[in-house]
Chain A
Amino acid sequence: MTIEQQLKDRFDRATEHAIPPADVPAAIARGRGRRRRRAGAYAVGSLAVLAVAASATVLPRLGEETPTAVPAAQGPAAPDGTFVPGTTIDTDLAAAVAAADPSLPAPTDVYPSDWSRDTPLPDADFANATEWQLVYDLSDRVELLVYVSKPIPGEPADQPVGTVVTGSNTIGDPAREVWFHSMLVAPDGHVVNAIEQVDGADPRRAEQRRVLTDARTEAVAQAPGLDFPDPVEPPAAP
C-alpha cells in the first residue's frame, strides 16, 4: 500500500464519525456585518499607511476585529438600484464614480457609517453619516472600495489639499491582500479614497491581477460630486 493510500485510509478512519456541523446562521450574521465593517476597517488601514488626512484620527480602530453587530439593513441594492431608502446620496455617489470611470460595474453595496464605529449606520440614520462607502466587485479576486469621509473637527489634514496621493501596500498578517490606493483631500477637508483591493500576498502577482490602474483610481478619487451633506447630528469626535 502506498503512503498516499495509507494516509487517506487512516485519515478517513479518524474522521469517519460525525463531523461537527458548521454554524451557518452565525457565519451569515457575521458575514453580513463583515461585508460592511471590513471596508471601513481596511480603509482606515490605508490611511495609516499613507499617514495622511484628517480622518486618520480613527486609527485606534486600525485592523481591529470587533465583535460583529449585525447592521440594521444589509447589502444589496433594491430592484431600482438604490441601497439606502429615503435618500439619493447613495445613487448620487455611485453616479459620480460612474461618471469618472464609466467602465466600472454598478456597486454591490453603498452604505453610510461614522467615525465612532466600524459598522454601518442603520439606514434610517444616514443623515448623521460622517462617511459613505461604495463597494465594487471587479473580479473574483479584486474589489474596489470608494470611501468618502468628512474631516474630524479639530484634526488638521497633514496632506496637501487637492493633491492626489497614490501608493500600494500589503494588508494582513499573514499578508492576504495588496491595496492600490489613491487619496484626495478636498479644499473643505473631506477625504476621498479609491482603494483597489487584490487578493494575494505577492505584490508582483497582485499587480498582474489588477483590474484598474493608478490613473483610474486617481480619476475616481478626484471624481466631481464625491461628497455628501454634513451630518445633522454627528457623534462626538473620536
Chain B
Amino acid sequence: MARTPAWEAEYVEYVAARQRSFMRAAYAMLGSWPAAEDAVQTTLTELYARWPRVRTGHPDAYGRRTLVNTCIGVCRKRKREVVTDRVPERQTGDGQASVDLMDALARLPVRDRAVLALRYLEDLPVREVAAALDLPEGTVKSQCSRALARLEVLLSPAETTGGNP
C-alpha cells in the first residue's frame, strides 16, 4: 500500500528540465560520461530525499551543490585528480578540439573544473555559482579568473599549432 508523495510529479518535472544541465556539468568535472551518469544519479537520489524541503527554496542551488560535492568525492577517491583515462564516447565533428579541451580540463584541480563548468559552460551568474559552491561571490570571481588563466595556458599550445601533432 505505497503512498506516492504529492510532490513526486513536481520532482519528475524538475529533473526532466535539469538533467541535461547536470549531466553536462558532471561531464565537465569528471571527463567521462559513465562517471557523469553515476554522479548525476547520486545527485538525483539526494535531491529526491530532500525535495520536500528544497522544492520551495532553491532546488537548483541544492542540486548543483550536491552534484559538485559528489564529483569532488569521486575525484578524491581516484588516485589522482587528473582524469588520464578519459576516452570520449563519441567523437564530435571537431573531435580534436574537444579532446584537447577535455584533456586541459582534466589537468585542472576539480574545484577549478567545478567553477568553470557552472560559470561558463552552464552560463550561470556569479551569484548562482556562489550559492551552488557555498562560497562568497568574491571567491567565485577570483577562482574563475585563476581557473581560466590556467586553462588558457593549457590550451594555448593547441591553439598556436592547430592541434596536437
Give A contacts to B, CB under 8 Å: 3-4, 6-8, 10-11, 13-17, 19-24, 26-28, 30-32, 34-35, 38, 72-76, 78, 85, 108, 123, 137-143, 173-174, 176, 199-202, 205
Contacts and interface: CB of A to CB of B under 8 A. Distances in A.
Contacts of B165: none
A172 to B, nearest CB: 8
A139 B57 contact: yes
Main secondary structure of the interface of B (DSSP, over half): helix
B121 A22 contact: no
18 contacts: A7-B101, A10-B94, A10-B101, A14-B88, A17-B90, A19-B27, A20-B36, A22-B15, A22-B22, A22-B23, A24-B15, A27-B48, A31-B51, A75-B3, A75-B5, A108-B52, A174-B69, A174-B73
Contact of A7 (B11, B73, B93, B120): B120
Contacts of B123: 8
Contacts of B20: 19
Contact of A200 (B4, B33, B134, B152): B134
Interface residues of B, number: 63
Contacts of A201: 134
A6 B62 contact: no
B10 interface: no
A200 B120 CA distance: 24
